Amino acid sequence: MLFVLDPEATAERVTRGDYPCPDSDCSGHVGPWGTARTRPVRLLGGGIDWLTPRRGRCRHCDRSHVFVPVRAFPRRTDSVETVWKALAAAAHGQGHRPIAHQLGLPPSTVRGWLRRARANAEIIANRANIIRIDVDLSAAASHQRFDTPLATMVHMVGAATAAWKRRFWFPTPTSGPDYTPRQVASVLTGGWLLIANAPASAQFWRPG
């Protein structure tokens, strides 16, 4: 699964045949290959969004890929906005039960997010630090640590997102991207925030 900020622009590239295969050992390009199943996404504050990701298949290695709009994490029902709000609250010391109450979700759902995010916190924080330096060439590596690994991770991802915005995001009063900082944070971490056993060597985001 590949997280994409702009699904329409990605679809155009795939249709033209100039979207490179994301597998590092392949030099081919991805072409259209139907869609994945439609699924609901619960939005922060209420409401449902319906998500139908497009699929692509490399013309060289035949590997297939799903282009997931950055609105929900893979195999998760709630939006990235909801998940990041929960993680930010936990990073500030709140427990899963009051967070779940604020979001109107079952405590078990929030507890599961926090457990997975805490398990991946160090890996995600290290990768976010690398991304921040990659995007902001004047930045130095940050060794700042907070009270918990989760708080450190949330801070590092926020710093990487801010660096990305300074370099690439130039909205105007009349036009501009319709994605949010939390969506940028999610695409920079490749949607791997809540997966099981995130590999330490994973490259979540490629420069350019």
| Structure tokens, 58 | 């490399």
Same domain? For 86 and 151 the reply is yes
Distance CA 128, CA 162 (A): 11
**Residue 75: inside a domain:** no
**Residue 200: inside a domain:** no
The pLDDT value given to residue 208: 40
Distance CA 181, CA 134 (A): 18
Q: How do residues 1-60 score in pLDDT, each as one tens digit?
A: 888 888 888 999 999 999 999 887 899 999 999 999 999 999 998 999 999 999 999 999
CA separation (Å) from 203 to 24, 124, 130? 10, 10, 10
Give the angle subtended at the CA of 182 by the CAs of 72 and 192, to the nearest 5°: 55
Same domain? For 112 and 53 the reply is no
Residues of the domain holding 157: 80-188
CA separation (Å) from 18 to 11, 13, 31, 68, 206? 10, 6, 8, 18, 16
Q: At what angle do helices 149-168 and 107-135 cross, to 10 degrees?
A: 50
Q: What is the mean pLDDT of the chain?
A: 87
Same domain? For 98 and 43 the reply is no
**Residue 201: inside a domain:** no
Same domain? For 183 and 93 the reply is yes
Q: How do residues 64-93 score in pLDDT, each as one tens digit?
A: 999 989 999 888 999 999 999 999 999 999
Q: How many domains, in total, are found in the chain?
A: 2
Distance between terminal CA atoms of the chain?
19
